[in-house]
Structure 1
Amino acid sequence: MPLQVDPILPRFGAYCSGLDLTRKLSPEEVKQVTDAMDTWGVTVWRDTGMSDADHVEFSRNFGYLERVPAREGIKYRLPFRELFDASNLNPEGEITQDPAAIQYRKGDRLWHTDSAFMEMRTSYSLLLAHSVPPEGGETWFADTRSAYDDLPQDMKDFLEDKVGINSLWWSRKLAGADIPDEEIDARFKARHPLVHVHKGSGRKSLFIAAHTMDIEGMDKAEGRAMIRQLIEHCTQPQYVFSHSWQVGDMVIWDNLCSMHRGGEYAYDKYKRDMRRTTVREGTEPHTQDLDDQFSVLFSNSPKVVDIQGARVAGR
């Protein structure tokens, strides 16, 4: 059965069906998925029936999968390091009470792009729902290609050669974590152009969100005001839709042409078990054993958002 596509917005997002994601896809079927992603930026797949192993194997069709940071003494809840735990659960599967984990996850409710804080960016993120709250907890997506298209020409010209400075810890500070500026400045920051050509579609896209703390060469206050302005532009209603999750749903989004954020829900009352794979930009399917950039970054986390440090300490 060929892939069926039902658009959500005129230029962004689509519901997809017709492929069994639990089995090995043919090259032509993989191309159907990537073609849909290039066109729509976000694809929603209902009731996939996928296991953790299915999730990882399907994701390998699109490139090298990043791995959860390694640290001695860590107890992992999920069976594969390729699965990032985007839940509110501790390693025992209960709702976490760890202040560092709670504070860290607050950053997920800001508009962001996964791994923009790394030198090697994430292309696709593939998020699968295992348990969802009865209300809230949706995910919102914004179209950064159409948002770029609709900018005035003078703004496009101004942004053409601008570079954003990106930090994970900056987004956590924006979400309320008590991280001094000097701590952020002392840690790794990634440089990425604010405008790039999206390879799959040939369309230009903004690449900017909560991890973007400064614009290279601009006064800090002016640069940060422009970052806020551009995020507000990208997240106007005509560019945005939300997905309300059901168990078994998978959403794939292309971080190089979209932003996303998590919706609010009763974090301390309901379990929300979400598991994500992330594909490194520019890598070939089934690539193995590239450098582990996340372990290096998270080995130097500020204490207030050091999830792994808390687990090692047994808190």
Structure 2
Amino acid sequence: MSVSSLNGAGAPFVTKIGGRIGALISGITLSPDLDAASIKFIYDAMLEHKVIFFRNQSLTSLQQEELGALFGSLVPHPTVSSASGTKHIFELKARKGRAANTWHADMTFMESFPKASILRCIKPSVYGGSTLWANTATAYSSLPLPLQEFAEKLWAVHTNNEYDHTDLIVERDWEFIQWQANIFAAKVYEAKHPIVHIHPETGEKCLLLGQFVKRLVDFNLPDSRAVLELLQSHVTRPENTLTWHWQAGDIAMWDNRATEHRAIADFDYEERELQRVTLSGGTPVSVSGEHSYQLINGQTNPIWLSDKTGAWTVRDQV
């Protein structure tokens, strides 16, 4: 991969950093002023390698938004307010060791979820705090043929609500649980997606799983959990993943339709700050040609968590 020139400098180049996923892009300084050849180079590299990285970049929040807009329409998070002074920045500002330490693709509780995300590291944790990515296309292609055929028939409901709060309370503090229920899930979204969807640009078959899956359609809960665990285990096999150790100024850009990612909450009470923009995507299509669709679209969540630890109540009683 190369282009003839880049802002008067030598051609950029790609260095693979994982056998199945991930590449480092060198020779490009990211800015809202990238030319068409550079934009195409970056986007094509993302499609091929699923997640790409840039070191030593210097972007402001506004420039990050403007950069993202070069690759498509930006979409804000439907329930979490954007960072102050921005329209589309999702802020990941960790306190008390908090991180999204479960495997997921961004906002799959929406019928049309983001096609890509761009994440900028402002302040890495002193230690730990890495992020994992997994390739859901190779996860599908490495399944045994009978399991591929089985998975292609399955559909699942994705939601931003109904987490296993017991596990979260063990791992985190009540303040975080309140944020997740009273802000992140203040409005409920649920979408029905095929477990295997056709990537609209590469044509690859990709698994569509992750933490937002509530259950498989037409399955009882124990069987749903067993099947989902089996399929998810193929996504997160070590050879199908990579680990990125953040430095200040790093930028990651990934194909949200062909990956899952997970932050590692191993940085104790150290601070960690990143900012993300997401690009609007289309509606997934199953192998048989059926489209995903929205089941619940921003319905007010009736459940509210009060200040008292462990206290759940109905919202209209607050």
TM class by shorter chain equals 0.7 to 0.9
1:6 and 2:15 aligned: yes
| Secondary structure, counterpart of 2:162 in structure 1 | helix
Q: What is the rounded CA distance, in whole Å, between the counterparts of 2:57 and 2:305 in structure 1?
A: 37
Q: 1:188 to 1:67 in 2, by over 3 A?
A: closer
Q: Which runs of 5+ in 1 are unaligned?
A: 89-94, 97-101, 284-292, 307-315
CA 1:305/1:20 → structure 2, altered by over 3 Å: closer, same or farther? farther
* One-letter identity of the residue aligned with 1:220: L
1:211, 1:173 → 2: CA distance? Answer: 14
Letter in 1 for 2:271: K
Task: State yes or no: 1:58 paired with 2:59.
Answer: no
- AA aligned to 1:218 is F
Of Structure 1 and Structure 2, the greater helix share is in 1
Query: Does residue 133 of structure 2 align to residue 127 of structure 1?
Result: no
Alpha-carbon deviation of 1:120? 1.6
Corresponding position of 2:274 = 274
- The match for 2:211 is 210
Per-residue CA deviation, residues 53-83 of structure 1 (Å, 9 max, x unaligned), is: 1111110122221124579xx8x75320210
Between the aligned partners of 1:215 and 1:7, the Cα distance in structure 2 is 35
Q: TM-score, normalised by structure 2?
A: 0.77
1:175 CA drift (Å)? 5.0
Contact 2:188 2:299 in 1 (8 A): no
Cα–Cα, structure 1 residues 174 and 305, in superposed 2: closer, same or farther, change >3 Å?
farther
How is 1:199-278 mapped onto 2 (pairs within 5 angstroms)?
A: 199-267=200-268, 269-278=269-278
Q: Deviations over 1:145-189 (max 9, x none)?
A: 11111101111111113111101123464852679xxxx9x9431
1:42 aligns with 2:56: no
**Matches of 1:256 and 1:57, distance apart in 2:** 22
**Residue 181 (structure 2) aligns with:** none
How far residue 201 of structure 1 moved from its aligned partner, in angstroms, is: 1.8
The secondary structure found in structure 2 opposite 1:191 is strand
Higher strand share: 2
CA distance 1:87–1:162, change in 2 (3 Å): same
CA–CA separation in structure 2 for the residues paired with 1:298 and 1:82: 22
Q: Share of identical aligned residues, percent?
A: 27
The two structures, once aligned, show a CA RMSD in angstroms of: 2.8
What does residue range 1-315 of structure 1 map to in structure 2 within 5 Å? 1-69=10-78, 77-88=83-94, 95=95, 108-171=100-163, 173=165, 176=168, 187-267=188-268, 269-282=269-282, 297=298, 300=301, 302-304=303-305
Q: Distance in 2 between matches of 1:174 and 1:30?
A: 44
Distance of 1:220 and 1:47 partners within structure 2: 47
Aligned residue identity for 2:230: Q
* 1: CA distance, partners of 2:217 / 2:76: 30
SS at match of 2:63: helix
Asked whether the 8 Å contact 1:138–1:245 carries over to 2, the reply is yes
Which amino acid in the other structure matches residue 137 of structure 1? Answer: G
Deviation sequence 1:91-125 (CA, Å, 0-9, x none): xxxx47xxxxx8xx55x101111101112211111
- Closer, same or farther in 2 for the Cα pair 1:304/1:176, shift >3 Å? farther
What number of residue pairs does the alignment pair up? 272
Q: Residue 199 and residue 167 in structure 1: after superposition, are their counterparts in 2 closer, same or farther (change >3 A)?
A: same
Post-superposition CA distance 1:193-235 (Å, at most 9, x none): 1101112222111011111121112222111211111111111
Contact 2:139 2:234 in 1 (8 A): yes
* CA distance in structure 2 between the partners assigned to 1:33 and 1:148 by the alignment: 25
Q: CA 1:79–1:87 in 2, change beyond 3 Å: closer, same or farther?
A: same
Contact 1:123 1:255 in 2 (8 A): yes
Amino acid at match of 2:91: D
- The 8 Å contact of residues 69 and 298 in structure 1, kept in 2 or not, is answered as no
Which residue matches 1:289? none
Q: Distance in 2 between matches of 1:175 and 1:63?
A: 37
* One-letter amino acid matched to 1:158: F
**Superposed displacement of residue 266, structure 1:** 3.5
Contact 2:89 2:275 in 1 (8 A): yes
